[in-house]
Amino acid sequence: MSRTQKTIVFIIWLALAVWGTIGFFQRMTQGHLLANYGSYVPWGLWVAAKVYFVGLAVGASLLAWVICAFNIQTLRPLVRISLLVSAVTMISGLLVISFDLGHMWRLYEVFTRPNFSSLLAIATWLSMAYLIYVLIGLGISLKSGHTEGTGRLFGWIGIFFALAFSGANGAEFATLISNPYWHSALGPILSIGGALLSGVALVLAAGALFLPASADDGRVFRILSRTVIGLILFVLLLEWSQYSVAMWYSRGEAYVLLSAVLFGKYWYVFWIFHVLLGSVVPLILLLSNPAQRLAAGLGGALVALTYMAVRLNHVIPGQIAPSMKGLQEAYTDKWLKFSYFPSANEWAVFAFSVAVCIALFWLGRRLLPAGSFRASGK
């Protein structure tokens, strides 16, 4: 990273940290009073952020597991940075969702009195187990002289673990039969696809920023760029399948909600953030200069950052339709609305979790042995 890049990143982090700290104190002192979600749209920005962070964590680590399992030597330098990215994003995901709880200090109850028929409980347990697995993986990757066999086995287990975990995260929404927007067999697959895309794209961006220059640069970035291109197309294909099946005959509840996503008040979340900035522009950048560090890094960063739009579009629209006619007018107050846009406090708490994520990443790089991002696995 050049000095200028460092300064820019620091200024952005400082702004996020200051804004986020204000939001954090507001949340801790005033509870949920400053939030815009409510009883009819019970899940807002923080739930979407949790899905986003966990997706990043799974995707980034899956890349590392694949590299280990298939022993891809060219990409070896990416293993540690991928696992570090995975660990810090997972921690941020758990952090931001704890702010969403009505009783955040009772979170331990998910572990002391779990209900394993609940996918939320399963996903929470898997989150903790997966975080521990990633940290162990990170530890193993730092140990010099570990055998290739251990790495491969760890990678294979990691792949299955990540797929199960990510699938469970998708199923958390997809199994809610009462909600035609979420209740889709594609849900877990989209969750895995989205996690892979956003996570690998983030590693591409992080690699462009932090991997020391080497003779292998071209090959590393070309492979990653092509992977991200393939994943963008795969996710778009899944989305086409989901949207076209639900909307083809212009009927049904899912059609109404998907129409709201595409042409409603917040159309720009889909078209500008997801399609344009998250798919078209990165595709152009990655297709035109796949091996070039700046273009590849920028493309990866765009995909990773704008994937939050996809998570928002997944979580929010499923809640904006009243379960029965007239309910929206039957009894009204601030908390009983079927519309939602995050409040300033919600954005600030999200900024706080992003700032924590960046700080943990920086700390991780500082604490890990010098050169650990240079000659991983050797």
Note the residues at the interface with another protein (CB under 8 A).
Answer: 31-33, 35, 38-40, 42-43, 100-103, 106-107, 109-110, 113-115, 117-121, 124, 176-179, 319, 322-327, 329-331, 333-336
Distance of alpha carbon 3 from alpha carbon 25, whole angstroms: 32
User: In terms of CB distance, is 1 or 107 closer to another protein?
Assistant: 107
Smallest Cα–Cα separation from 312: which of 358, 252, 266, 259? Answer: 266
Q: Give least dist CB 346 to another protein, A.
A: 13
User: In terms of CB distance, is 109 or 148 closer to another protein?
Assistant: 109
Q: Give least dist CB 166 to another protein, A.
A: 18
Q: Give least dist CB 331 to another protein, A.
A: 4
**Contact residues for 299 (Cβ-Cβ < 8 A; gap 6+):** 201, 204, 225, 228, 281, 282, 283, 285, 286
Q: Give least dist CB 336 to another protein, A.
A: 6
User: In terms of CB distance, is 129 or 136 closer to another protein?
Assistant: 129
Q: Give least dist CB 46 to another protein, A.
A: 11
State CA 125 to chain mean position distance.
18
User: In terms of CB distance, is 110 or 305 closer to another protein?
Assistant: 110
With beta carbons less than 8 A apart as the criterion, state whether 61 and 206 touch. no
Dihedral angle sign, alpha carbons of residues 21, 309, 300, 134: positive
Angle between helices 187-210 and 148-174 (to 10 degrees): 130
State CA 17 to chain mean position distance.
20
With beta carbons less than 8 A apart as the criterion, state whether 90 and 84 touch. no
User: In terms of CB distance, is 111 or 268 closer to another protein?
Assistant: 111
Q: Give least dist CB 332 to another protein, A.
A: 9
Q: Give least dist CB 294 to another protein, A.
A: 42
With beta carbons less than 8 A apart as the criterion, state whether 223 and 102 touch. no
Phi-psi category of residue 143: left, alpha or beta, with phi > 0 → left and psi -120 to 50 → alpha: beta
Half-sphere exposure of 303 (CA within 13 A, CB side): 39
User: In terms of CB distance, is 127 or 227 closer to another protein?
Assistant: 127
User: In terms of CB distance, is 100 or 217 closer to another protein?
Assistant: 100
